[in-house]
Structure 1
Amino acid sequence: MKRAEQRMEDTWDLSDLYRDLETWEAAFAEVKVLAKNFKAYSGRLYEAPETLYEAIQAKERAERMLSNVITYARLKHDEDTKNATYQSLTSRVEALGSEYGEMTAFYAPELMAGDFVKIESFMDRYPPLAAYRFYFESLFRSKPHIRSEEIEHLLAQTEEMASGASNAYGMLLNADMTYEDAVDSEGNAHPITNGSYIPLMMNEDRELRKDAFTKYYANYEAHINTFAALLQTEVKKNIFYAKARGFKSAREAALFDNHIPVTVPDALIEAVHGKLDSFYDYMKLRKEVLGYDALHLYDIYNPIVESVDFKVTYEEAQKMTLGALKPLGEAYGEVVENAYQTRWIDVYENEGKRSGAYSWGTYDSRPYILLNHKDNLDSMFTLIHEMGHSMHSYLTHQTQPFVYGHYSIFLAEVASTTNEALLNDYLMKTIDNEGRKKYIVNHYLEQFRGTIFRQTMFAEFERDIHATVEAGGALTAEYLCSHYLELNRKYFGPDVVIDEAIQYEWARIPHFYYDFYVYQYATGFSAAIALSDRILNDGETAVNAYLDFLKSGASDSPIPILRRAGADMETEVPVQEALNRFAEVVKTFDKLVKNS
């Protein structure tokens, strides 16, 4: 389907940002003016507390408008990545962001050149500045990693160039890659796209799954050297910026802003290694229930509960997700219902549309959701997942000032996955059909597989490839493929045939361009298990604590924000509890399918 053929009600309404390209162009021009005017504060930040406050306000005005301009361009581009007009917009906003960075490069070094004692005296003398206390504390924490104005200016000039690998990867993946149709056991052709691949892997027709798997990864194999060059460039970029700012490693640099020690993702990896036996048990059970002599990697997505018709239309998904979110209160539900009715969401796939799903907006706009909805259970979980992100953003924006009107990536996956846990509980309580209940338990196990085990494998791969380059090695296609293949063998265990084609899978994972993001899916899922249990079992007190978490934004470090909500990620408890829960559910499912 072409973009123009989509029903308007199934597309997002971006008028919160700009009603048309003309108003966007005016804002684009104004950002340059605001950035230029901000340069007037250079050398004056410690002139007086009032001057510092004015400078911060001016910077915020420019950043808010820049965020709106960039977000509109990116959302329009993602509607149709083949559209030349929107390709041009994204190129222009990248240049604008670089230009803005150059014009404001003096700010952090000049502020850092002073003493925090002086800032404290300013806050005492001028109360409006006191609202920025945590902001100042966090900024001065970064002082050892802020460079001179000249170097900051130079680093700002590199930003547009630094996005080159990620942009090229996105165009190759979403706009240029095409696939031969997969053929099912009856000879019917099925188009393969990035959006249709996983639904094809969930199909009950094993011949279709095998053919789709083979043809999909054959295309990645044909481009694998290009993908390797892009990923190596991205990794070298991360290492360059880490060294430029005096960090010991790219990973330390990536985790610094969130106050997360590198021991957290390392502990996650070690904890999962310690529980791989329970994952092997699940793979063995899958093999037995399916009745296969050999379980292949194209057999790990399809439901292992036979003959269950579980089609979920988008309209049905809306109703069920609203029911699942009732424990969070009437006000929360009203906002979600309004989101469904007022076009926060771009629902269906069209030619050139970006694959996957996300929630993205600005402080001044609604938090938009991009979907590529299929009428299945997985898409309903994707909907409620992304709505968790959007509600986190919405409540943060409603509660916090602009300076704290975002949240760390460490917290980002908690809200989304808590929503998924609530949906799982709702479905188990409201569905009477035993076959569908088994299907839901299977889906729950698949959430663990995809969110804890799979994302931890990705985190280990990401850690290893950065360490390889930091030690002087090269990310050749041969190394990337062989190492990824070995990780699959480690994680899937003895009862899964590790098909050689899976060695190319790393090339289809866009999150490897997100700079150490993936481990947070696993930590977020673990925290969500703890928080959803509290919401369902402890009532109003737990709900209020959770809603306070959603409203906290960046007003504190993520670890204490999450601890107040009921999950202490500085301990091993949430991750171990989640892994223990998985082991219990595997045993329960084993009994369920064998006794039916």
Structure 2
Amino acid sequence: MESKVLKKREEIQEQDKWSINEIYSNDEVWEKEYKELQEEAPKLKEFEGKLGDGETLIRYFEVNEKVSRKAEKIYVYAHLRCDEDTSNTKYQAMMNKIDAYMAEYATYTAYVVPEILSLPDGTIEKQMEELKGLEPYKFLLENILKEKPHVLDKKEEELLAAASDCLDAPSSIHNIMTNADMKFGNIKDEDGEEVELTEGNYSSFIKSKDREVRKEAFKGLFKEYKAFENTLATTLSSSIKVFNFGARVRNYNSALEASLKPNDIPLEVYTNAIKTIDDNLSSLHRYVGLKKKLLGLDEMHMYDLYVPVIEIPKERVEFDDAVKMAIEGLQPLGKEYLDIFQEGINGGWIDKYINKGKRGGAYSWGGYDTKPYVLLNYNYELNDVSTLVHEMGHSIHSYYSRKEQSYYYAGYTLFCAEVASTTNEALLIHHLINKETDKKKKLYLINQELEQIRTTVFRQLMFAEFELYTHESFEKGIPLTAEDYNAKWHELNVKYFGPEMVVDSEIDVEWSRIPHFYSDFYVYQYATGYAAASAFAKSILNKEPNAVAKYVGFLKSGGSDYPIEILKKAGVDMTTPKPLEATIDRFNELLDMLEKEI
């Protein structure tokens, strides 16, 4: 048996660690570059007041790129080193040093956008026509200029910036209250032991095979939220007022517009997503009915939603086998993609295993001049194979966009970010389901993908529908109380889950526990990202003409255009219901498989 003692960082084999020493061969080189950065960065202030001249603007962009790329490398190296072992005080100090400096560094270029916007109308446009050297910065400049109607004068901007901390109060209060102050009492676990219920362990109790445990956890959690519903309603209402205030002050027609317009996302993308899902709720109703049957229940309650319909014995998947599975699953993406994947596996992109002090979770990260590194905490489970293809999806997206785009356009928006990772996951699970011969395992995999679509698409769009209702009420001058929020939440649950579901009254207050409502109009992007990925996966698996080439074109685009345009060029038009319909088609296909298996 392998020992359960966590290895120290130095006990992990070199081939299982990422090769960060390729950024800096040692910490002394890092220190030397850090000192250079401190000398070079203040020079960025010298351009202040001179950006109306096209030649000077070109020089600013060139100097800024050189300095920013150096800063980025220094920042990435310190953070990655710190994440390897968070108890290493030397790297903690390095990270704190660069973090503090980055705040100062930001002040050296804070004048740029306000100065460009304060120039007389047409100044920049004229310079762009006359100077070829501004051509590479065209999209960047146009993007700044389009914000002109929404940016205030210097004094007002400073005032808003100074107030930003106070305006974040609703979110901070919600966070402290739900994570620190609220107490959910004790419940009996599966062994009949008394345990304290917390927000942290609720998610494992709600999946429990023992129905009493699920029910008790559900009632215990929401009873406490119910007790504070008026305070939590006031907090949420205050947050919505803040978003509406921000939108009004910046001359937008609504909070929704303020949230979507900066990335040039048409408002219809949001409203059509809700409409498309509403038109297809019968699929979710069917899923609830099938789940009820599989669980052998007379009545399906809200606390039965998360329990797996099938348990399978844990299998140990070695890392090399995970790579094999990943490569088989990603086969449809073709040789070039798989060669890059292999390069990542063998070329020091990945930090594979858990070690003492290592940061938890998984991510893909790096800079323009580094590898697109991947942090994993590989634990030999099937789920870890999914995590591997997910993070490598991000990394290969970064690899392509850094290779094809200039520094200023290599980053991509959140709207596009999850598409690459989710497309990989969709291809992997499709492959695993298709080749599985063991009936129980196949059911398990089908249910896993169904749950992913239910929670990422149906649930997030239900959230999005609730959010739209709350904002529109405030815009019409209708104040909302806990009673209003509860009624709307109940109505949405009844509509989404359909006639086979008993919508318990406890769920009515669930809106009050969702932290995402404090980031306006954020959640819908989970659903649109998943839908875009479904559409890509579908066209790739159906071997549609040029499907892979179009998809790789999307990966190469970085941030060189608005997200809707980048996706449209690749054949996925988010302004139509088609991508979301592709997800619903897949959901129905999985339901058919599930019915066959039972």
RMSD, aligned CA: 4.5
Which structure 2 residues correspond to residues 188-587 of structure 1 after superposition, within 5 A?
Answer: 197-217=202-222, 231-232=236-237, 234-305=239-310, 307-309=311-313, 311=315, 313=317, 315=319, 317-337=322-342, 339=344, 342=348, 344=350, 359-367=364-372, 377-378=382-383, 380-472=385-477, 480-538=485-543, 541-587=546-592
- Residue 139 (structure 1) aligned with residue 134 (structure 2): no
1:366-400, Cα deviation, whole Å (9 max, x unpaired)? 54556677765555434433432333223222321
1:230-277, Cα deviation, whole Å (9 max, x unpaired)? 655544443343233211122211111221111211111111111112
The 1:528–1:343 alpha-carbon spacing in structure 2 relative to 1, beyond 3 Å, is closer
For 2:234 and 2:277, the matched residues in 1 are separated by 30
- Residue 111 (structure 1) aligned with residue 100 (structure 2): no
The 1:583–1:338 alpha-carbon spacing in structure 2 relative to 1, beyond 3 Å, is same
1:294-344, Cα deviation, whole Å (9 max, x unpaired)? 212222222324x53354657354442333123223443344455556464
For 2:356 and 2:198, the matched residues in 1 are separated by 11
1:48-84, Cα deviation, whole Å (9 max, x unpaired)? x321012223444555566667778888999999999
For 2:183 and 2:12, the matched residues in 1 are separated by 27
The 1:84–1:116 alpha-carbon spacing in structure 2 relative to 1, beyond 3 Å, is farther
Counterpart secondary structure, 2:542: helix
Give the AA of the match of 2:422: T
- Residue 40 (structure 1) aligned with residue 46 (structure 2): yes
For 1:252 and 1:200, the matched residues in 2 are separated by 39
- Given that 1:200 and 1:212 are in contact with CA atoms closer than 8 Å, whether structure 2 keeps it comes out as yes
Give the AA of the match of 2:45: K
C-alpha displacement of 1:590:
2.2
For 2:170 and 2:95, the matched residues in 1 are separated by 15
Moved more, 527-536 or 505-514: 505-514
For 2:244 and 2:78, the matched residues in 1 are separated by 28
The 1:230–1:368 alpha-carbon spacing in structure 2 relative to 1, beyond 3 Å, is farther
For 2:269 and 2:235, the matched residues in 1 are separated by 28
TM-score between the two structures when normalised by the length of structure 2: 0.81
C-alpha displacement of 1:500:
4.0
The 1:467–1:200 alpha-carbon spacing in structure 2 relative to 1, beyond 3 Å, is same
- Given that 2:368 and 2:402 are in contact with CA atoms closer than 8 Å, whether structure 1 keeps it comes out as yes
TM-score between the two structures when normalised by the length of structure 1: 0.81
The 1:137–1:202 alpha-carbon spacing in structure 2 relative to 1, beyond 3 Å, is same
The 1:30–1:154 alpha-carbon spacing in structure 2 relative to 1, beyond 3 Å, is farther
Gaps of 5+ in 1: none
Moved more, 5-14 or 574-583: 5-14
1:450-496, Cα deviation, whole Å (9 max, x unpaired)? 12211101212222333344445667666555543443232222222
C-alpha displacement of 1:562:
0.9
For 1:503 and 1:90, the matched residues in 2 are separated by 44
C-alpha displacement of 1:175:
8.1
Moved more, 499-508 or 369-378: 369-378
For 1:17 and 1:477, the matched residues in 2 are separated by 53
- Given that 2:352 and 2:378 are in contact with CA atoms closer than 8 Å, whether structure 1 keeps it comes out as no
Give the AA of the match of 2:51: L
C-alpha displacement of 1:535:
1.5
1:103-139, Cα deviation, whole Å (9 max, x unpaired)? 5343223223446754355345543321112212222
For 1:136 and 1:149, the matched residues in 2 are separated by 19
- Given that 2:351 and 2:376 are in contact with CA atoms closer than 8 Å, whether structure 1 keeps it comes out as yes
Moved more, 115-124 or 14-23: 14-23
Give the AA of the match of 1:250: A
- Given that 1:108 and 1:146 are in contact with CA atoms closer than 8 Å, whether structure 2 keeps it comes out as no
Gaps of 5+ in 2: none
